[in-house]
């Protein structure tokens, strides 16, 4: 079977409220850009929202799809839908079942259980060559002995498309991937990125309803990945075909996809828009897998307040949390660091600490701060209990990772190991993940 591919990633500004599946009303967080998302804006989310509103109809539906290989369960019963025209990403660590799921969709693996619908038709038992999908693989799968044009024309030839139509479609597909005029070259005379484009053109020329891409960028170097990522997004908008891309790179998924399905050990953990996944991760696994985050052991008390390691007692923004063990989570960019104590403020908390470890990333660095314990809390809505003894560092020192933008006065003051600092944060930014949230 043919086709492979590779591409990379742009980045998007996190400037909009979550727009995903699960609107979680009042607790919208302040818009805090993440260093990894600051590089290049792509398209404003509301623009994509309106586009999606016209085509929210589903093109793929999985109902309890599962797959076992002997004793190995690669995919546990999984159900979700992919909407027509969307850029959908399957994201998860190595071995979580992404490729297996893609192969089930393409027809290369029969599922052990469940049903698969494409465009409303039950395709569970339909062979691969009769499904309206095309797959682009991770390794280059262009035929080395054929020219670029012949590679792209291959599927059309097999499908017995007339020569004149074939030539026209091949030309158009090569234009789409910006390889116009390269028909007669051999793959060996192309760069890695160009070969991936040939593979893309080969899949696109078949005009599939859904294009399945398995780690199409993984063979490319970082710079080319970034470029090809932007190209994929452009291409998808231009042709309007539904893209289902598999990746283990969270930044890639965040920057490209309209929606992301996060998988872990063969289970679907969460399916949401990038913003919702990042801002409201449903499980500890998702919170940890997407972006950087600080975790603190916590307990939800009977009165709805929370006691957390190093953070003290506070009333969380979320309602109806189950009583008992939980994890409090805080993103690095939500923490303000200063060398002097910040003024006490309604709804904010602070802790003293020492910079213990710095990692340099050029435009910013991360600093690990060892906390001495919560110094103070002036919670807005919390009734009493604000000055409880800091419940810090049981079972070791509590630490926080923060971001420091380099070449700023703040960086010159703070970015020194051993520097005494204050960390402060808004209590409403503390996300509580109940123990059942797993991970
Ligand atoms: N043909 C097979 N026979 C037996 N086990 C398999 C087979 N294919 C996959 N598996 C197992 O199923 C699980 C999921 O594999 P899969 O290839 O879907 O993972 P993945 O998420 O694509 O990982 P990666 O990111 O490394 O490509 C793994 O534990 C893998 O070892
Ligand atoms: Mg895989």
User: Which ranges of 63-181 does DSSP label H, i.e. alpha helix?
Assistant: 98-106, 148-158, 163-176
Q: How far is the CA of 320 from the centre of ligand 1 (A)?
A: 38
In this predicted structure, what is the pLDDT of residue 417?
94
Higher pLDDT, 72 or 18: 72
Q: Which residues line ligand 1 (CB under 6 A)?
A: 69, 72, 74, 92, 94-100, 248
Task: Select from 233, 224, 241 the least CA-distant residue to 7.
Answer: 224
Q: How confident is the model at residue 224 (pLDDT cuts 50, 70, 90)?
A: confident
Instruction: Point out the ligand 1 atom lying closest to the alpha carbon of residue 266.
Output: 14
Residue 204: pLDDT above 60?
yes
- CA-based nearest residue to 28, from 41, 40, 38, 15: 15
**Angle at which helices 222-239 and 163-176 cross, to 10°:** 130
What's the rounded mean pLDDT across residues 172-183?
A: 90
- Token digits of residue 236: 């998808």
User: Which listed ligand is nearest to 137 at the C-alpha?
Assistant: 2
Q: Quick check: 82 and 60 in contact, CB under 8 A? A: yes
Q: How far is the CA of 242 from the centre of ligand 1 (A)?
A: 24
Confidence band, pLDDT 50/70/90 cuts, at residue 56: low
Measure CA 67 to chain center.
Answer: 24
- Residue nearest ligand 1's atom 31 by CA: 95
Q: Taking residues 131-159, report their average pLDDT.
A: 88
| Whether pTM exceeds 0.85 | no
Pairing between β-strand 420-426 and β-strand 399-405 as defined by DSSP bridges: unpaired
Report which bound ligand comes closest to the CA of 94.
1
Shortest CA distance to 369 belongs to which of 399, 338, 410?
399
Among protein residues, the one whose CA lies closest to atom 30 of ligand 1 = 95
State which residues have CB under 5 angstroms from ligand 2, the bound ion.
Answer: 99
Q: At what angle do helices 192-204 and 222-239 cross, to 10 degrees?
A: 20
Residue for token pair 């002097």: 340
Q: Is the pLDDT of residue 21 over 50?
A: no
Question: Rounded to a whole number, what is the largest CA-CA distance in the chain?
Answer: 80
pLDDT of residue 377: 44
pLDDT exceeds cutoff 80 at 406 = yes
Residue (of 187, 205, 219) closest to 134 by Cα position: 205
Q: Quote the pLDDT of residue 89.
A: 97
Note the pLDDT of residue 29. Answer: 33
> For residue 436, what pLDDT band results from cuts at 50, 70 and 90?
low
Per-residue pLDDT at 17: 32
pLDDT reading at 85 higher than 70: yes
Point out the ligand 1 atom lying closest to the alpha carbon of residue 138. 27
Rounded Cα gap, residues 115 and 80, in angstroms = 11
Helix axes 163-176, 192-204, angle to 10 degrees: 130
Using CA atoms, how far residue 301 sits from 73, 280, 380, in Å, is: 38, 22, 18
pLDDT digits (tens, 9 = 90+) for 261-320: 999 999 999 999 999 999 999 999 999 999 999 999 999 999 999 999 888 899 998 888
Q: Which of 98, 247, 249, 252 is the pocket-test mutation for ligand 1 (most atoms within 8 Å of CB)? A: 98
pLDDT for residue 140: 63
Nearest-CA residue for ligand 1 atom 1 is: 69
Shortest CA distance to 174 belongs to which of 202, 193, 146, 196? Answer: 202
* 261 alpha carbon – ligand 2 mean position (Å): 15
Neighbour tally for 362: CB within 10 Å: 8
Give distance in angstroms: CA of 90 to centre of ligand 1.
Answer: 14
- Cα dihedral 227, 228, 233, 236, rounded to 10, equals 150
Quick one: pLDDT band at residue 46, thresholds 50, 70, 90?
very low
Q: Which atom of ligand 1 is nearest to the CA of 103?
A: 18
CA–centroid distance for 20 within its chain: 13
Could you read off the pLDDT of 349-399 as tens digits, one per residue? 999 999 999 999 999 999 999 998 554 444 433 333 333 333 233 346 789
Average pLDDT for 212-227? 84
Q: Of the spans 36-45, 116-125, 317-326, which averages the highest pLDDT?
A: 116-125
Tell me the three state secondary structure of residue 428: helix
Q: Cα angle at 244 between 243 and 245, to 5 degrees?
A: 110
Closest ligand by atom to 91 CA = 1
- Amino acid 146: pLDDT: 94
Average pLDDT for 407-416: 91
pLDDT higher than 90, residue 405: yes
Mean pLDDT of 159-174: 94
Ligand nearest to the CA of 96: 1
Q: What distances in angstroms separate CA 71 from CA 22, 66, 74, 75, 78, one per listed residue? A: 35, 13, 9, 12, 18
Tell me what the mean pLDDT of segment 73-77 comes to: 98
Which CA distances in Å does 433 have to 102, 284, 365? 30, 7, 27
Instruction: Please state which of the ranges 37-51, 125-139, 369-383 shows the lowest mean pLDDT.
Output: 37-51
Answer for the pair 45, 254: CB distance below 8 angstroms, yes or no.
Answer: no
Q: Both tokens of residue 47?
A: 């623009």
């Amino acid at each position: 079977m043919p086709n492979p591919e590779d591409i990379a990633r742009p980045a998007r500004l996190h400037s909009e409220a979550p727009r995903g599946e699960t609107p979680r009303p009042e607790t919208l967080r302040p818009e805090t850009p993440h260093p990894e998302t600051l590089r290049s804006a792509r398209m404003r989310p509301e623009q994509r929202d309106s586009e999606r509103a016209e085509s929210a109809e589903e093109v793929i539906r999985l109902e309890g799809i599962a797959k076992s290989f002997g004793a190995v369960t690669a995919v546990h019963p999984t159900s979700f839908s992919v909407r027509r025209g969307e850029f959908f990403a399957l994201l998860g660590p190595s071995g979580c079942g992404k490729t297996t799921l893609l192969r089930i969709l393409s027809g290369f693996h029969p599922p052990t259980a469940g049903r698969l619908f494409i465009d409303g038709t039950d395709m569970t038992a339909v062979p691969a060559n009769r499904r309206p999908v095309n797959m682009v693989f991770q390794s280059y799968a262009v035929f080395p002995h054929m020219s670029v044009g012949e590679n792209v024309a291959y599927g059309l030839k097999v499908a017995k498309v007339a020569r004149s139509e074939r030539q026209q479609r091949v030309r158009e597909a090569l234009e789409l991937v910006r390889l116009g005029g390269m028909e007669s070259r051999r793959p060996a005379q192309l760069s890695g990125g160009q070969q991936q484009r040939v593979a893309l053109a080969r899949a696109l020329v078949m005009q599939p309803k859904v294009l399945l891409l398995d780690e199409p960028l993984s063979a490319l170097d970082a710079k080319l990945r970034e470029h090809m990522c932007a190209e994929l997004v452009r291409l998808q908008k231009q042709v309007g075909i539904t893209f289902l891309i598999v990746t283990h790179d969270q930044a890639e998924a965040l920057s490209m996809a309209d929606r992301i399905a996060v998988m872990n050990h063969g289970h679907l953990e969460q399916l949401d828009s990038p913003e919702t996944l990042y801002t409201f991760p449903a499980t500890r696994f998702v919170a940890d897998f997407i972006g950087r985050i600080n975790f603190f052991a916590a307990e939800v008390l009977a009165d709805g307040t929370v006691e957390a390691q190093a953070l003290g007692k506070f009333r969380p923004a979320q309602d109806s949390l189950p009583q008992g063990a939980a994890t409090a989570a805080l993103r690095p960019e939500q923490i303000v660091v200063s060398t002097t104590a910040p003024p006490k403020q309604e709804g904010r908390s602070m802790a003293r600490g020492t910079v213990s470890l710095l990692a340099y990333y050029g435009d910013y660095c991360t600093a690990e701060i060892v906390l001495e314990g919560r110094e103070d809390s002036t919670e807005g809505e919390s009734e009493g209990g604000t000055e409880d003894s800091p419940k810090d560092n049981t079972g070791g020192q509590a630490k926080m990772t923060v971001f420091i933008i380099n070449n700023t006065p703040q960086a010159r003051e703070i970015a020194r190991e051993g520097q005494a600092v204050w960390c402060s944060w808004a209590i409403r930014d503390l996300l509580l993940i109940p123990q059942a949230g797993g991970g």
